[in-house]
Amino acid sequence: MGRHPDAERRAQEPAADDARAGGRRRGELGRPRRARHGGHREGRADRGHPRRRPLGRRTGARGDAGRTDRVPRAVPRRGGVVTLTATAAPTASTTSSSWALPISLFSIPLGLAGLGGAWTAAAQLLGATAAPAGLAYAAATVVWAAFTVAYVVGTIRHKTGSFHLDLRHPLLGPLTAYIPVIAILLVAYYAPDLGGAARWLVYAAVAALVINAAALVAHWLKAPLEQNAMHPGYFLPVTAGPFIAAIGVMSVGDTQVAIAFFGIGIFFWLLLGAVITSRLFFGSPLPLPFRPVLSILLSPPGTAGLAWFAIQHGQIDQLQVAVGGITLFMLLIQLFFVPDYLRLSFSAQHWVFTFPLAVVGNLGVRWSAALRFDGWQVVAWTVLGITTAAILAILAGTLRDLARRITR
């Protein structure tokens, strides 16, 4: 039975009103309304433009905030410390709270331990007093222990773990090897006083380094990095780290294990050396505040030379000569960076220089003593004196800045 036309029209009016209301709601959620000045404006999506994200919308776990493939840039942080970070990438200052200890500060105890190693060589080969080495290692131990406790506490308090974030950060990740590397150097120095515990402590520190390095390499293989995120600090866990591990196990007399770690260091030195050099040659230039990391280029050949001296008990062979030649050439390259280094305003970033400087001082003493040329002691003391003075100048600058902050 048919319905009256008026009744049909009245029945359809509520549905039409609902459709118009729905259209208005859809317009509020992203589709544009009619233009104010007449005419119908096509939607952005209709013209092929992406819709604008409403203000205040949070990105997902895999959104822009999680990207790490951006071009690095220098970001100043409180206190004058400048770190190289990536646009929109998590950093130590953005992924952790203000109480989190930056992993880069572990370059301080590493430099102090390196200075202690140089003066240990002087005590053994030049007849110097053991007091400077003992003082440097004691300071390194105190600072390393305090920083490690602060870093671990920060990791526990942070819901995602600052260590977890640093480990996967494309720029800070390699620096997580600081903690076990410094531990190896400290245990190697105190090994004669530790007795049977020295072997256990050395291998515990070496195991921590191996696990850290393996986790880093596995992450790099699973999540390919942007080339511009590469920097010489990548040598620390898989090149300088194994060479230092070789020194550590030699302190407890395990020559074969030391040679195995030396081989690991050589392999990754060749592998990463080509990649990092390619990035420095053909990638975007490092920002001036981040130039101190170029001094790390001295660490692979320098630590390799020290490791081989330990394995060969101070003797020089053809391999040592080859590594020494590379070290000398890398040192010559560093001299051309000095004008750039001198243009930098002082900051905690200068501690990056200290470990390579200490390695040069250590090698200067050991090479001079091994060659025994005329005047070798003068040369050894000169190299040790210059490198020690540079490290002490950085220490003095740090203490001066710390005193200024305390008195404010």
Q: How confident is the model at residue 322 (pLDDT cuts 50, 70, 90)?
A: very high
pLDDT tens column, 49-79: 444 444 443 433 334 433 333 434 444 333 3
User: What's the pLDDT at 218?
Assistant: 92
User: What's the pLDDT at 73?
Assistant: 43
Average pLDDT, rounded, for the chain: 81
User: What's the pLDDT at 285?
Assistant: 86
User: What's the pLDDT at 135?
Assistant: 98
Q: Quote the tokens at residue 217.
A: 């390499």
User: What's the pLDDT at 10?
Assistant: 53
- The verdict on residue 62 lying in a domain is no
User: What's the pLDDT at 41?
Assistant: 44
- The verdict on residue 113 lying in a domain is yes
DSSP 271-335: HHHHHHHHHHHHSPPPPGGGGGGGGGGGHHHHHHHHHHHHHTTT---HHHHHHHHHHHHHHHHHH
User: What's the pLDDT at 75?
Assistant: 42
Residues 108 and 401 sit within 8 Å (Cβ to Cβ)? no
CA distances to 137, 242, 404 from 120, rounded to whole Å, are 10, 21, 33
- The verdict on residue 7 lying in a domain is no
| Nearest one of 279, 294, 292, 205 to 242, comparing CA atoms | 205
Residue 9 has pLDDT above 70, yes or no: no
User: What's the pLDDT at 62?
Assistant: 38
CB-count burial class (<10 Å; 0-12, 13-18, 19+) for 122: buried
- The verdict on residue 34 lying in a domain is no
Q: Quote the tokens at residue 158.
A: 């942070």
User: What's the pLDDT at 105?
Assistant: 94
- The verdict on residue 68 lying in a domain is no
Residues 308 and 319 sit within 8 Å (Cβ to Cβ)? yes
- The verdict on residue 247 lying in a domain is yes
- The verdict on residue 33 lying in a domain is no
Determine the average pLDDT of the residues in 345-353.
92
Q: How far apart are CA 262 and CA 242, in angstroms?
A: 6
User: What's the pLDDT at 16?
Assistant: 52
Residue 91 has pLDDT above 50, yes or no: no
Torsion angle of the four alpha carbons 17, 19, 22, 24, in this order, in degrees rounded to the nearest 10: -70
Determine the average pLDDT of the residues in 9-19.
53
Residue 40 has pLDDT above 70, yes or no: no
pLDDT tens column, 160-196: 556 777 778 888 889 999 999 999 999 999 999 999 9
Residue 157 has pLDDT above 80, yes or no: no
Work out how many domains the chain is built from and give that number. 1
Determine the average pLDDT of the residues in 85-104.
50
The domain in which residue 199 lies consists of 85-407
User: What's the pLDDT at 7?
Assistant: 53
Q: How many CA atoms lie within 13 A of 119 on its CB side?
A: 22
Q: How confident is the model at residue 95 (pLDDT cuts 50, 70, 90)?
A: very low
Q: What is the CATH number of the domain that holds 157?
A: 1.50.10.150
DSSP 102-144: PGGGGHHHHHHHHHHHHHHHHHHHT---SHHHHHHHHHHHHHH
Q: How confident is the model at residue 289 (pLDDT cuts 50, 70, 90)?
A: confident
CB-count burial class (<10 Å; 0-12, 13-18, 19+) for 58: exposed
- The verdict on residue 26 lying in a domain is no
User: What's the pLDDT at 6?
Assistant: 54
Q: How confident is the model at residue 313 (pLDDT cuts 50, 70, 90)?
A: very high
User: What's the pLDDT at 43?
Assistant: 45
Which residue reads 């008195």 in tokens?
Answer: 407
pLDDT tens column, 196-209: 999 999 999 999 99
Amino acid letter, 142: V
Estimate the crossing angle of helix 241-250 against helix 197-222, to 10 degrees: 160
